[in-house]
Amino acid sequence: MPDVPVLDTPTFASAQEACALGAEAEIANFSRYDQMLATFTDYPDIYQVALALRNASEFQRLPAFQTCAIQ
C-alpha cells in the first residue's frame, strides 16, 4: 500500500490574499492556453474546447478573483 502523500496546503492571511493568488493563477492559466491554441489549429474540435476553457479563465474566473481580491 503506497503512503498517503503529504501536500503543502497554502495558508492565507485573508480571503483577499487568497483571491489575489487565484487571479495570478488565472492569468498564468489563460496564457498557457494562448500558447497551446497555436498547436491545435489542425484540430478544430480540440481548438474550440481549449478556446472555451481559455476564455472562461480570462473572462469569468479572473474577474471573480479580482473582485474578491479588492473587497
The predicted pLDDT at position 58 comes to: 95
pLDDT at 71 over 90: no
DSSP 8-state class, residue 31: H
The predicted pLDDT at position 12 comes to: 95
42-59: buried (b, 16+ CB within 10 Å) or exposed (e) per residue? eeeeebeebeeebeebbe
DSSP 8-state class, residue 4: P
CA dist., res. 18 & res. 36, Å (int): 27
The predicted pLDDT at position 62 comes to: 97
Give residue-wise pLDDT tens across range 5-60. 899 988 999 999 999 999 999 999 999 999 999 999 999 999 999 999 999 999 99
With beta carbons less than 8 A apart as the criterion, state whether 61 and 12 touch: no
